[in-house]
Amino acid sequence: MQITYYQLIKRARIGILIIIAGLAISGITALPLESELKWLTTHTGGLPLAMQSWLKTVYDAIWYVNMHYPFLSYGTDWLAFAHVMLAVLFIGPYREPVKNIWVLQFGMIACLAIFPLAFIAGNIRGIPFFWQLIDCSFGAIGIIPLYISYKAARKAEYLFQNKLAI
């Protein structure tokens, strides 16, 4: 059975919705970091001890910074804002995946760029290797719906340009 132009567009939009949701959730949850980490550190019994210890260290640092230097958390507010704005960026490809395919390409490049950032900056900043891998997982997982959407949009473009779209 031949896949139609509209099925391809629908497939692309599903992947894009996954990306929009992931970016929006990442952004929104970056705002209350201290309260989230406090909750997390009290509910981590099933995690390996190294991860429990790391989460407690991160919580203690954020608590201290917020207590004595709250203006530093403004940086994570901007991080949260950037994630939400990136989610908004993907509304264009959701509406017209073929016309805005460059945004999908940008997203895939961003997913790949996570790896050197996590390993280089993570090493410089003293982030444990297991946490660098967790950070890399965002790129590894995020590229999947982006690639599926990209391929679907390219196929839809081919069908449309060759007057095969139904």
Give the separation between CA 34 and CA 15, rounded to whole angstroms.
31
What tokens were used for 62? 């954020």
Give the separation between CA 121 and CA 85, rounded to whole angstroms.
23
Cβ-contact 1, 62 below 8 angstroms: no
State pLDDT tens for residues 18-75: 999 999 999 999 999 999 999 999 998 888 999 999 999 999 999 999 999 999 999 9
CA atoms within 13 A on the CB side of 101: 15
Domain ranges of the chain: 5-161
Mean pLDDT over all residues of the chain? 95
Q: How confident is the model at residue 164 (pLDDT cuts 50, 70, 90)?
A: confident
Q: How confident is the model at residue 163 (pLDDT cuts 50, 70, 90)?
A: confident
Cβ-contact 27, 84 below 8 angstroms: yes
Percent of the chain with pLDDT over 90: 91
> Which of 67, 41, 73 lies closest to 55 in space, CA to CA?
41
**What are the phi and psi torsion angles at 59 (to 5°)?**
-60, -50
> Looking at residue 166, what is its pLDDT?
60
In degrees, to the nearest 5, what angle opens at C-alpha 18 toward C-alphas 120 and 121? Answer: 10
Residue 165 predicted with pLDDT over 70: no
Q: Is the overall model pTM greater than 0.85, yes or no?
A: yes
